[in-house]
Structure formats: structure tokens, C-alpha cells
């Protein structure tokens, strides 16, 4: 229990169940400590906020489970199709040489990275599980460069609170800076010791193994740092925070 005192936490927790004025108190305290998810007040409301707050207080630095090589799934599900339109097949035909990952928003050095550049950075491999909210899952080995490395290269400004990420098929999602800096959050270009197949989001995918499958954006092509998610249309109809 770092900067927020146990008493404040208890107060916030009690207030959360104590009715409307209590919720306002809880919301104010939680807001000051970065404990309110941006979809607070939506259909997930207070329960969702308490889940997020509890996770952020108790498991801020925890890791998603990693597995042994023998546990890798023999037949992982590739869900969905490659992005529509002419651009993706054109980039693919060229072996994604023209492909770039853009990084912009609240950074000192906005720019973009080619696949060759990304592959030249320090790599991390991890065997983690993709868990879909629909009830299926698979385990695979993911290889890539930690998002934190890219963030350091870009120079994130201190006021940034979220990393919004965009995909070639139009999906958009976002994570907070705890997950953005987390060592297991990976800009992945490899899967099970080959290139990341297009069926699983190749050439590039964000792996966020501390959250459900839908937070792991396939066909990643842009990351934007921001201090608010107001006005950003996020894709998933599920809750914004999907910690597991
Ligand atoms: N760009 C993009 N990313 C996406 C999706 C998508 O439709 N488009 N589906 C999400 C969902 S709901 C899940 S469960 C996982 C599935 O990953 P898989 O295709 O490797 O099984 O990708 C996630 N990332
Ligand atoms: Mo999913």
C-alpha cells in the first residue's frame, strides 16, 4: 500500500457501497490516486471502478502467469480476418518492408519505426495465455520488443496517462501507464519461434498479458500517448479494464 493510506482505501471502499454521496467521496479520493478507469460511470459503474482500484493498489507490479514450453497450445485459434482494403495486401506482398509503427502524442520525439528497426532492439520472449472473453484461450510464445523500450526512445512526457493504440483494421484501444510500462507488455513480431502470422495479427501486435484477449491489439500500427481518453472512440464494447 504505497502512497495511499490504508485508511483512505477503507474509506473509499466503504463509501463505494454507501450511496450516492459516498460514491462522490470515493470518486474524489480515487481520482487523486489514479484509481478511476476512464469508463467510470458507464454501464460498468462503481463495481468496475472498485475492481480497477483494487487491482492497481494491490497488483500494480505483478506479472501475468508465464508457462513452460511444453504447455504451448498445439492449435491456437486465429480469430478474425486480416484488415480489409488494398493497403494491407500491398504491404504484405512486400514482406512489410514499408510498414511502420507510428509513435506520437505526449512524447518528446514523435516518430516511426520499421520492422527492421523494431527487430534490432532488445528482445523479450514470454510464454503467456490469450484469454478471450468468449471463453476460449490458448498458450503461445511471444517475441518482440517491450513497449517500454519504444516509450523510452520516444521520451514520454510526465503528464501522459494513457497509451492509445490503433490497428490497421480500425480497432482502437488504450491502456494506462502501469500497463504501458509493464515489462510483459510487448510489441510482438514473433510467435512460437516464427514470424507472427497474419492470422494472429502479423506483422505486429501488442501483447498485454495482464488483461483479456481483446486488449491485445492485432495489426498494430500506431501508439499515441495522451492524458485523457475523452473523445476517443475505443472499440471494445467490453469493460475498458480487463485485468486477469
Ligand atoms: N485489430 C484487432 N485486434 C484484435 C481483435 C480484432 O478483431 N482486431 N480481436 C481481439 C480479441 S476479442 C481477441 S480474443 C484476440 C484474439 O487473438 P488471436 O486471433 O490471436 O486468437 O485478439 C484481439 N485483438
Ligand atoms: Mo476476444
For the stretch 33-61, pLDDT in tens is 788 888 766 556 678 888 888 888 887 77
Beta strands 100-105 and 220-226, pairing class: parallel
**Residues contacting residue 166 through CB under 8 Å, at least 6 positions apart:** 172, 217, 220, 221, 222, 223, 224
Ligand 1 within 6 A of 167 CB?
A: yes
Q: State whether the beta carbon of 52 lies less than 6 angstroms from ligand 1.
A: no
Closest ligand to the CA of 130: 1
Give the per-residue pLDDT at 47.
80
- Is residue 194's pLDDT more than 50? yes
The answer on pLDDT for 2 being more than 50 is no
Report helix, strand or coil for 55. Answer: helix
pLDDT recorded at residue 21: 57
Atom of ligand 1 nearest to the CA of 212: 14
pLDDT at 15 over 50: no
Domains of the chain: which residue ranges? 3-59, 69-226
Q: Is the CB of 215 under 6 A from ligand 1?
A: no
User: Residues 163, 223: contact at Cβ < 8 Å?
Assistant: yes
Select 69-226's CATH number: 3.40.47.10, 1.10.3210.10, 3.90.420.10, 3.20.20.60: 3.90.420.10
Amino acid at each position: 500500500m504505497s502512497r495511499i493510506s490504508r485508511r483512505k482505501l477503507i474509506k473509499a471502499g466503504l463509501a463505494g457501497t454507501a450511496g450516492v454521496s459516498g460514491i462522490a467521496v470515493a470518486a474524489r479520493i480515487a481520482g487523486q490516486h489514479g484509481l478511476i478507469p476512464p469508463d467510470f460511470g458507464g454501464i460498468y459503474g462503481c463495481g468496475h471502478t472498485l475492481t480497477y482500484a483494487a487491482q492497481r493498489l494491490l497488483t500494480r507490479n505483478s506479472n501475468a502467469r508465464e508457462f513452460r514450453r511444453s504447455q504451448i497450445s498445439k492449435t491456437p485459434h486465429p480469430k478474425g480476418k486480416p484488415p480489409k482494403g488494398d493497403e494491407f495486401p500491398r504491404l504484405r506482398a512486400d514482406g512489410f518492408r514499408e510498414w511502420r509503427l507510428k509513435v506520437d502524442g505526449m512524447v518528446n520525439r514523435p516518430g516511426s519505426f520499421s520492422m527492421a528497426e523494431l527487430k534490432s532492439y532488445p528482445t523479450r520472449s514470454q510464454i503467456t495465455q490469450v484469454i478471450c472473453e468468449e471463453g476460449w484461450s490458448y498458450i503461445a510464445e511471444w517475441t518482440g520488443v517491450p513497449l517500454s523500450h519504444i516509450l523510452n526512445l520516444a521520451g514520454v512526457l510526465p503528464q501522459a496517462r494513457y497509451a492509445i493504440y490503433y490497428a490497421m483494421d480500425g480497432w482502437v484501444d488504450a491502456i494506462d501507464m502501469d500497463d504501458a510500462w509493464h515489462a510483459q507488455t510487448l510489441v510482438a513480431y514473433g510467435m512460437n519461434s516464427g514470424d507472427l502470422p497474419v492470422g494472429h495479427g502479423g506483422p505486429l501486435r501488442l501483447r498485454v498479458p495482464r488483461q483479456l484477449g481483446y486488449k491485445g491489439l492485432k495489426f498494430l500500427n500506431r501508439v499515441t500517448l495522451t492524458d485523457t481518453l475523452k473523445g476517443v472512440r475505443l472499440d471494445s464494447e467490453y469493460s475498458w479494464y480487463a485485468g486477469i
